[in-house]
Amino acid sequence: MLSRLRTRQALVLCLSKMTSAQEKKIRQTGCDARFDNLTRQLYATDASIYQIQPLGVAFPRSAQQASAVIHAAADAGVPVTPRGAGTSLVGNAIGEGLIVDFSHYNRQISDLDLEKRSIRVGAGVVLDQLNDFLKPHGFCFGPDVATSSRATLGGMIANNSSGARCPIYGTTADHVISLEIVMADGRVEKIGASHKSLGNERAKIEDLVRAAAAEMTERWPPGLIKRWPGYGIQRFLRAPDDLTNILAGSEGTLAAIFSAELKISPLPREIGLGLLFFAAVAEAMQTTVELLDLKPAAIEHIDRPLLDQTKGQLHFQAARDLLELDTKPCESILIVEFYEDVAERLSILQSRKIGLRTKILTDPAQMNMVWSVRKSGLSLLTGCIGPAKPVAFIEDAAVRPAQLPEYVRGLESIMKPLGLTASYYGHAASGLLHVRPVLDMHSADDLKKFRQVADQTSALVRRFKGSLSAEHGVGIARTEYMRDQLGDELLEVMREIKWAFDPKNIFNPGKIFEVGTDRRAVPTSQRDVPTRIDNHLRENFSRPIELPFQPVLAFAFKDRSFTGNLEQCNGCGGCLKQSEIMCPTFIATHDEVMSTRGRANIIRAALELRTNGHDPLKSEELDAALSNCLSCKGCTPECPSNVNLALLKAEMLHARWRRDGLPLRERIFSNIDLLGKLGCLTPRLTNRLLDSKAVRVAMEKTIGISSQRSLPHYASERFDKWFATNCSGGLRPPNGAHPPTPESGYGVTGRAPLQRNRGRVILWDDTFVRYHEPHVGVAAVKVLEALGFEVALVKNRRCCGRPAFSQGNLDAAAKLAKQNVTILSLQHSLGRRSLGEGGNAPILFLEPSCWSMFVEDYRELRIEDAENIAARCFLFEKFVDDLLAQEPDALRFKHESRSRGIAIHPHCHAKSILNPSFMARLADRLPGGKATVLDTACCGMAGAFGAQVEKYDLSVQVAQRLLDQIDSQPPGTEVIASGTSCRHQISDLTNLRAKHMAELLADALA
Ligand SMILES: Cc1cc2nc3c(=O)[nH]c(=O)nc-3n(C[C@H](O)[C@H](O)[C@H](O)COP(=O)(O)OP(=O)(O)OC[C@H]3O[C@@H](n4cnc5c(N)ncnc54)[C@H](O)[C@@H]3O)c2cc1C
Ligand code: SF4
Ligand code: SF4
């Protein structure tokens, strides 16, 4: 082990670094440029299987800065790779020189011209951002990549991306009017049909392309709508006055795009989907051809391997139900979309009675549900358990739709003898299936098969006169096949184009043209590795990750392994989106290190000893990645591969604390339940101390608790004490008597039976309810008793362990978990024996982070019997809503009509397990209730996170989305938040006091 580590260290040490002179030159431009190891590791991968560590990353704010930085890099002999969101699948967006990230600052949208149907965008504008801007005007940008939530227009143009609706919109190149580009020598030029710049280059390219016209006709017969063999010379031949035809699809190998003038399209007036279900993929392929006469906007194919990956995933359950996958299984589905004359065309489709069954959808929410499954295709597939994953390398080949059945047979005949399987999904109407053979890239045998499949598929595609890459680009994976696909003549034409733009091979070397294969090429670095499909693979393939610790967590819900879950991150960039719950720190900052992908990449870098100091558990890089993760669990349900950063982080921290000892602050934060107990001994004194400026400054200096943050006060009467003195069948009986409870010996403090007795429920009085917010517990008891439940608390309960778990103090968390499960199990067995129905009592939680501990993390901690206890645990709101769904009159509310709206901010742990819509349903049961679930992610407080002095600003930044949502509500709206930290954050940053749902219900009871 040690010798392997040393070998790795030696390898790491000999990696190239930028010289200080080169670095200085680039810094002098004034452009934000970073050369630290953290940044270099963050940008070493994209969504591909490849890894190349760059020398640095620049983030230009203006075309002038981009020009200066590219000029300086070129002068210093440093290659440049432009980059957007880094969602390229075959290594297009990585390089060993300077990465120029256009996605960080360059997000301006301007010059909307509805008459001309055009708009100007910065290269870093994201497709969804553009479409959100255009929608109110009735327009959209046509090409619809599946990565629309993060793919940038710069990346889309450079990859000539397209999507499902290619039959009506074509590809991105078809929508470019003009481009503002930065050349290798730093010149900023405008190109397009109406611009006369680069006249010499244009004339030269026109001559070259005209001379190759016959060869193009021979090699590329018509019928492919997504053909894309390197540079768009066929497109240019049709419009030789427009150099954008060459730039679009050039994968950053010719120039950098700073901004673009684009064509926009009117939104369709109506949309409808027909879903056709088949017993075999071959049938679906055949049908695709038969449907083209209906002129669909899209025909997409999804098959069973992909659909199977949605099983058990909260995020996709509604779509599974809609498609009736559990009751009416199928092997494959065609999604046929129509724009215009929808009813007529859908009815023709239905009348054809194709396949097993047909389903028609016109409801936008339902149609979106189906599209979300299709769009998450790749990540769903790579989310499969185990080291073998569907690998992207032949995933972008296209043939004419009529050739699909034969092409699929051809692929099967390549893979079958090698014992390989694959999913076949994608843009059937364009003849493009994203086929990803399932390979274990850690295994030498599978690496051989990887090459065999690539070689044979290249030959197969050539036989069909198809296109090896149709929308994802050539990248690293397909560069070595360019000669095979294009032939010498066309490849030479493209090489001449490259030299016309970039004579020193500065831009993205090694993509489209192999490194070192041209006499004129300037060597790009001391590590001139030829571009081959099997070079530059991610390090964990050739050197399996060795953990310097024994993981303690089970990763029970998916991979059952730390490394397995870590390797689930395929770089797809789903966590770079600006909506929903994953990942709130990226949404707030736009920084790669603040994304789930960034964090997973840095954990991998640390374990591969690529961090400074080569300590796998402790480094600045790891701190930057892990300490800012809120452990909000947003990634658990939303990352289609189920990367679970909260668990990965807890495990990494735990390994470090075990080795180095638990720091004081983490120890304190792990023990807030004990602090609560102590604080409540002398609440007035403690609260006075907590409010004292001097004490707070001292706390900030010694243990790093921000003095800007209010600390929760201790209650004058603890909730459990209140409960013990107020139980005689009703709430606060007149005489305040508290009869002894017969069950106290069984670990549960019970209350006397009620008139309408529904049996017993156990209320989990968490740390916050018990010591800080007893009124929430009182309200819950009031509601539960009104429903007819006998409420009990758990005697001698311990803290649920969430605070310790969040700090990576997993030994302490496991100890607490074991004690709680033992108490509850004992109560269960004794209860069953002596209390009849009482022993199985549901356990209700007011605090979602405690509930998620019981239902998820106790199992992760491998606590015996945790599963049985989890089955009895319910979120208070869900329990009440489920009951009211069966018996709407079980609670009687005051009949005053509510004039105030209700805005609900659900806790992210609740959202990670349940669809939060039930909370609005519950609040809507109040007379006149008008509830909205706010579109928020984590509140930013995240337990103790927001109280740390160095995290305060980030915590407030993350909260901004919640604050904006609250601000947008009508005045007087009541804000409901079930998490104590969420309520705390809201009261710290607004003038509002948010309530728990229990309070809302209790206040409204008749
Ligand atoms: C899950 C998944 C699904 C996908 N589905 C689709 C799909 O439906 N259709 C599709 O076409 N693609 C798809 N892709 C591929 C990819 O998302 C798209 O090609 C996307 O448009 C790339 O945008 P990006 O901002 O991530 O670019 P990047 O990946 O960052 O870069 C793409 C290429 O463009 C170059 N580049 C980036 N910005 C610039 C610039 N400003 N100037 C010059 N060159 C630049 C880079 O050097 C690189 O060669 C998918 C990828 C994933 C992971
Ligand atoms: S964390 Fe998930 S969503 Fe983000 S890049 Fe990795 S696989 Fe994609
Ligand atoms: S747990 Fe939350 S903050 Fe951490 S990576 Fe996942 S989504 Fe981001």
Q: What is the pLDDT of residues 177-218, one digit of tens each?
A: 999 999 999 999 999 999 999 999 999 999 999 999 999 999
Phi, psi of 651 (to 5 degrees): -65, -45
- Position 528 scores a pLDDT of 61
Residue 173 has pLDDT above 50, yes or no: yes
User: Is the C-beta atom of 86 inside 6 A of ligand 2?
Assistant: no
Long-range contacts of 586-593 (CB under 8 A, 24+ apart): 587/937, 587/958, 587/961, 588/940, 588/954, 588/957, 588/958, 588/960, 588/961, 589/954, 589/957, 590/103, 590/104, 591/104, 592/42, 592/43, 593/38, 593/39, 593/42, 593/624, 593/625, 593/628
User: Which ligand is the nearest neighbour of the Cα of 147?
Assistant: 1
Contact 112, 57 (CB under 8 A): no
Q: Write the CA distances from 110 to 119, 134, 399, integer angstroms.
A: 6, 11, 38
User: Is the C-beta atom of 146 inside 6 A of ligand 1?
Assistant: yes
User: Which ligand is the nearest neighbour of the Cα of 629?
Assistant: 3
d(CA 475, CA 283): 33
At 17, is the pLDDT very low, low, confident or very high (cuts 50, 70, 90)? low
Residue 810 is inside which H or E element, if any?
Answer: helix 810-835
Residue 139 has pLDDT above 90, yes or no: yes
For ligand 2, the distance from its centroid to the CA atom of residue 234, given in whole angstroms, is 36
Phi, psi of 538 (to 5 degrees): -55, 145
d(CA 208, CA 246): 13
At 831, is the pLDDT very low, low, confident or very high (cuts 50, 70, 90)? very low
Residue 256 is inside which H or E element, if any?
Answer: strand 256-263
For ligand 1, the distance from its centroid to the CA atom of residue 300, given in whole angstroms, is 20
Ligand 3 binding pocket, CB closer than 6 Å = 582-585, 596, 599, 629-635, 645-646
Q: How far is Cα of residue 302 from the mean position of the Cα atoms in its chain?
A: 21
Contact 524, 96 (CB under 8 A): yes
pLDDT (average), residues 342-364: 97
Q: What is the pLDDT of residues 905-918, one digit of tens each?
A: 999 999 999 999 99
Q: Write the CA distances from 948 to 265, 588, 943, integer angstroms.
A: 49, 18, 10
- Position 755 scores a pLDDT of 53
User: Quick one: which of 575, 721, 726 has its CA closest to 639?
Assistant: 575
Cis before 583 (ω within 30): yes
More confident call, 735 vs 100: 100
For ligand 2, the distance from its centroid to the CA atom of residue 383, given in whole angstroms, is 10
Task: Please name the residues in contact with 308: beta carbons below 8 A apart, sequence gap of 6 or more.
Answer: none
User: Is the C-beta atom of 251 inside 6 A of ligand 1?
Assistant: yes
For ligand 2, the distance from its centroid to the CA atom of residue 57, given in whole angstroms, is 21
At 728, is the pLDDT very low, low, confident or very high (cuts 50, 70, 90)? very low
The residues with which 977 forms a beta bridge, in sequence order, are 905
User: Is the C-beta atom of 639 inside 6 A of ligand 2?
Assistant: yes
For ligand 1, the distance from its centroid to the CA atom of residue 534, given in whole angstroms, is 21
User: Is the C-beta atom of 379 inside 6 A of ligand 2?
Assistant: yes
Phi, psi of 276 (to 5 degrees): -115, 130
Residue 830 has pLDDT above 60, yes or no: no
Contact 154, 124 (CB under 8 A): yes
Mean pLDDT, rounded, of the chain: 91
Q: Helices 444-463 and 482-501, interaxial angle, to 10°?
A: 80
User: Is the C-beta atom of 643 inside 6 A of ligand 2?
Assistant: yes
DSSP state for residue 50 in the 8-state scheme: B
Query: What residue type is 663 in one-letter code?
Result: P
Alpha helices in 740-809 (DSSP H): 767-771, 774-786, 802-806
Among protein residues, the one whose CA lies closest to atom 51 of ligand 1: 87
For ligand 1, the distance from its centroid to the CA atom of residue 260, given in whole angstroms, is 16
Q: Which ligand 1 atom lies nearest to the CA of residue 162?
A: 11
Among protein residues, the one whose CA lies closest to atom 50 of ligand 1: 147
Contact 777, 997 (CB under 8 A): no
Residue ranges of E strands in 675-807: 748-749, 760-764, 790-794
DSSP 389-405: EE--SSTT-B--GGGHH
For ligand 2, the distance from its centroid to the CA atom of residue 601, given in whole angstroms, is 10
What is the best residue among 59, 87, 577, 595 to mutate for testing ligand 1's pocket, by most ligand atoms within 8 Å of CB?
A: 87
User: Is the C-beta atom of 85 inside 6 A of ligand 1?
Assistant: yes
d(CA 473, CA 111): 30
DSSP-derived 3-state class of residue 966: helix
- Position 375 scores a pLDDT of 82
pLDDT (average), residues 736-751: 36
User: Is the C-beta atom of 403 inside 6 A of ligand 2?
Assistant: no
For the chain, how far is it from start to end, CA to CA, in angstroms? 69
User: Is the C-beta atom of 82 inside 6 A of ligand 1?
Assistant: yes
Among protein residues, the one whose CA lies closest to atom 1 of ligand 3: 631
User: Is the C-beta atom of 854 inside 6 A of ligand 1?
Assistant: no
Sign of CA dihedral 673, 674, 677, 680: negative
User: Quick one: which of 39, 45, 38 has its CA closest to 57?
Assistant: 39
Q: Which ligand 3 atom lies nearest to the CA of residue 634?
A: 7
For ligand 2, the distance from its centroid to the CA atom of residue 956, given in whole angstroms, is 25
What is the best residue among 586, 626, 633, 639 to mutate for testing ligand 3's pocket, by most ligand atoms within 8 Å of CB?
A: 633
Contact 556, 362 (CB under 8 A): no
User: Is the C-beta atom of 179 inside 6 A of ligand 1?
Assistant: no
User: Is the C-beta atom of 247 inside 6 A of ligand 1?
Assistant: no
Instruction: Please calculate the CA angle 273-277-280 and round it to the nearest 5 degrees.
Output: 140
Q: Is 413 exposed, middle or buried (0-12, 13-18, 19+ CB in 10 A)?
A: exposed
What is the best residue among 592, 645, 909 to mutate for testing ligand 3's pocket, by most ligand atoms within 8 Å of CB?
A: 645
d(CA 627, CA 517): 45
Q: How far is Cα of residue 987 from the mean position of the Cα atoms in its chain?
A: 29
Residue 387 has pLDDT above 50, yes or no: yes
- Position 577 scores a pLDDT of 94
For ligand 2, the distance from its centroid to the CA atom of residue 379, given in whole angstroms, is 8
Residue 636 has pLDDT above 70, yes or no: yes
Among protein residues, the one whose CA lies closest to atom 4 of ligand 3: 629
Alpha helices in 464-542 (DSSP H): 482-501, 539-542
User: Is the C-beta atom of 98 inside 6 A of ligand 1?
Assistant: no
Q: Write the CA distances from 199 to 191, 195, 196, 234, 257, integer angstroms.
A: 10, 9, 6, 19, 18
Contact 302, 439 (CB under 8 A): no
User: Is the C-beta atom of 600 inside 6 A of ligand 2?
Assistant: yes
Q: Which ligand 3 atom lies nearest to the CA of residue 638?
A: 7
Q: Write the CA distances from 279 to 275, 305, 331, 410, 428, integer angstroms.
A: 14, 13, 5, 20, 17
Residue 622 is inside which H or E element, if any?
Answer: helix 620-626
pLDDT (average), residues 85-113: 97
At 897, is the pLDDT very low, low, confident or very high (cuts 50, 70, 90)? low
For ligand 1, the distance from its centroid to the CA atom of residue 541, given in whole angstroms, is 24
DSSP-derived 3-state class of residue 643: coil
Q: Which ligand 1 atom lies nearest to the CA of residue 46?
A: 29
d(CA 549, CA 617): 9
At 744, is the pLDDT very low, low, confident or very high (cuts 50, 70, 90)? very low
Task: Please name the residues in contact with 855: beta carbons below 8 A apart, sequence gap of 6 or more.
Answer: 870, 873, 913
User: Is the C-beta atom of 597 inside 6 A of ligand 2?
Assistant: yes
The residues with which 790 forms a beta bridge, in sequence order, are 760
Residue 811 has pLDDT above 70, yes or no: yes
d(CA 196, CA 237): 17
User: Is the C-beta atom of 106 inside 6 A of ligand 1?
Assistant: no
User: Is the C-beta atom of 54 inside 6 A of ligand 1?
Assistant: no
Give the residue carrying structure tokens 């004339």.
203
User: Is the C-beta atom of 601 inside 6 A of ligand 2?
Assistant: no
- Position 900 scores a pLDDT of 83
User: Which ligand is the nearest neighbour of the Cα of 945?
Assistant: 3
Q: Which ligand 2 atom lies nearest to the CA of residue 638?
A: 3
For ligand 1, the distance from its centroid to the CA atom of residue 141, given in whole angstroms, is 16
What is the best residue among 603, 631, 912 to mutate for testing ligand 3's pocket, by most ligand atoms within 8 Å of CB?
A: 631
- Position 779 scores a pLDDT of 97
**3-state helix/strand/coil string of 588-617:** HHCCHHHCHHHHHHHHHHHHCCCCHHHCCC
User: Which ligand is the nearest neighbour of the Cα of 315?
Assistant: 2
Contact 331, 279 (CB under 8 A): yes
User: Which ligand is the nearest neighbour of the Cα of 645?
Assistant: 3
Contact 1000, 902 (CB under 8 A): yes
Q: How far is Cα of residue 126 from the mean position of the Cα atoms in its chain?
A: 15
User: Which ligand is the nearest neighbour of the Cα of 573?
Assistant: 2
Q: What is the pLDDT of residues 596-622, one digit of tens each?
A: 999 999 999 999 999 999 999 999 999
Contact 985, 946 (CB under 8 A): yes
User: Quick one: which of 551, 561, 565 has its CA closest to 600?
Assistant: 565
d(CA 578, CA 31): 25
d(CA 457, CA 420): 14
Q: Write the CA distances from 349 to 295, 360, 462, 509, integer angstroms.
A: 11, 9, 34, 48
For ligand 2, the distance from its centroid to the CA atom of residue 569, given in whole angstroms, is 5
pLDDT (average), residues 453-464: 97
DSSP-derived 3-state class of residue 151: coil
**Cβ of 742: how many Cβ atoms within 10 Å?**
11
d(CA 656, CA 808): 9
User: Is the C-beta atom of 39 inside 6 A of ligand 2?
Assistant: no
User: Is the C-beta atom of 125 inside 6 A of ligand 1?
Assistant: no
Among protein residues, the one whose CA lies closest to atom 2 of ligand 2: 639
Contact 956, 606 (CB under 8 A): no
Q: What is the pLDDT of residues 499-552, one digit of tens each?
A: 999 999 999 999 999 875 554 554 445 446 778 999 999 999 999 999 999 999
